[in-house]
Every structure is written in C-alpha cells, then in structure tokens.
C-alpha cells in the first residue's frame, strides 16, 4: 500500500522533492500547490491526499531541513573541546549559508508556531541536541566553566543562529571581507566561557 506505484508512483515523495527544490531555490513564499501539481503533471487537489494543507507541506520541508542540519553537525569530530566547539559553530553557520532559503523556512517562525506540528518540534530539538551534547562534553571535560548547561547552550545557539541569520540576510556588510568572522566570533565567546585553568594555554593551538 505504501511501496507499490498507484496511478503516479509515490506522489508524496515526488511532491516533497519538488517542493524542496523550489524552496531551496526561491524560498518558501514561492511554493504554490497548484503550480507544484501542474509541474508534476497531476491535479492540484491530488496533493491533499498526502498533505493536509500548504502549511503541512512546508512543515515537512522544514523537518527535512532540520534533519540535514543535524547530519551536518554530527559530522563534526569530537576531538579537543575547543576545536569541537568552534567546529560545530562553523558547521552550523556554513549550513545556513549553503541553504539560506531552507534555513529561513526552518526558523521563519511565521510559517509554523511551535506546538502545532510535533514532528517539526522534535526535529528541531534533535538538531539542537547535537549542539548541546558538544557543549556538555566540553563542560564535563573541565574545559568550560561549571556554569548551567542550559545557559551555555542557549548562548552558543543564540550566537550561531544570530550570526547565520544576519549574514544570509546581508545585515553584516563586511561579511565577505571578513571570511573568518564566524571563527573570530566563536573564539570571542569562548574566551568568556573557558575555565581559568585553560586560559592562555590553548589560544593558538589550532595553528601549530
């Protein structure tokens, strides 16, 4: 029932893929169910067999986005705390820069308020979890000050999210002239978060 081809093969997947391509190229405001259906060669109401409404489709795409983000973050090595933290921050920002339209859909807020679509919320939390785990490891290893975990992760997330959003929307004019901005920012934050025992011992360890 779910695997074999009905009239058109699995429309659900086809719509999902096509819509994802449109979002990545032109943003979520360019998504039109009718246009999507016409492109695929199916009538518009057919889509309603697979998606409750336009918002649900967008939510599904946002879920894909969070899963892709999570995969990116998971690829960051666990090696020394400082590299791991900077690495995951860079990976996060780079994802946003690579997929600005998708990222905007994920965090647009206007699209879907939290609590409406549980699977979307879970996908977001799962991505955030990777970041939190990295911070927790660094903290547990004694590299970071023994501050509340929630405070540290919230700080880290705020920083990378804010930087992502500001850069992809062009609010930071000299972002191109300063390619190491993300790294500098992350380092700057770390200065305040590392334990005093680690101070001055690892500032230049990434450039041997």
Partner DNA sequence: TGCCAATGTTAACACCGTTAACTTATAGCG
Partner DNA sequence: CGCTATAAGTTAACGGTGTTAACATTGGCA
Residues that bind a second copy (CB under 8 A): 27-29, 100, 104, 107-110, 113-115, 124, 128, 147, 150-152, 154-155, 157-166, 168-172, 174, 178, 181, 184-185, 188-193
Report H helices in 75-207: 81-98, 100-107, 118-140, 149-168, 181-193
> Nearer to DNA by C-beta: 53 or 169?
53
User: What is the residue whose two structure tokens read 């004019």?
Assistant: 173
User: What is the residue whose two structure tokens read 């647009």?
Assistant: 108
> At closest approach, how far in Å is the CB of 169 from a second copy?
4
Q: Which stretch binds DNA (CB under 7 A): 37-45, 154-162, 165-173, 186-194?
A: 37-45
Backbone torsions φ then ψ of 129, nearest 5 degrees? -60, -40
42 touching DNA, by CB under 7 A = yes
62 touching DNA, by CB under 7 A = no
25 touching DNA, by CB under 7 A = no
8 touching DNA, by CB under 7 A = yes
Residues 168, 102 contacting (CB under 8 angstroms):
no
- Residue 142's alpha-carbon distances to 155, 187, 192, 204, in angstroms, are 18, 17, 14, 19
> At closest approach, how far in Å is the CB of 27 from DNA?
13
15 burial (CB, 10 Å; 0-12 / 13-18 / 19+) is buried
Binding site for DNA (CB under 7 A): 1-2, 4, 6-8, 11, 31-35, 37, 42-46, 48-50, 53-55
């Amino acid at each position: 029932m779910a695997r074999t081809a009905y009239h058109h093969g699995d429309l659900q997947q086809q719509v999902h893929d096509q819509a994802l391509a449109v979002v990545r190229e032109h943003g979520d405001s360019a998504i039109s169910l009718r246009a999507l259906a016409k492109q695929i060669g199916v009538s518009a109401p057919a889509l309603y067999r697979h998606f409750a409404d336009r918002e649900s489709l967008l939510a599904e795409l946002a879920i894909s986005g969070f899963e892709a983000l999570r995969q990116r973050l998971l690829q960051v090595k666990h090696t020394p705390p400082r590299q791991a933290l900077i690495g995951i921050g860079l990976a996060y920002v780079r994802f946003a820069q690579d997929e600005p339209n998708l990222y905007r859909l994920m965090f647009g807020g206007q699209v879907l308020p939290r609590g409406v679509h549980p699977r979307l919320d879970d996908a977001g939390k799962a991505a955030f979890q990777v970041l939190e785990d990295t911070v927790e490891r660094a903290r547990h290893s004694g590299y970071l000050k023994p501050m509340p975990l929630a405070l540290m992760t919230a700080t880290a997330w705020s920083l990378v999210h804010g930087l992502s959003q500001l850069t992809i929307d062009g609010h930071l004019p000299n972002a191109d002239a300063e390619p190491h901005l993300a790294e500098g920012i992350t380092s700057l934050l770390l200065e305040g978060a590392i334990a005093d025992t680690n101070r001055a011992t690892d500032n230049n360890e990434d450039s041997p």
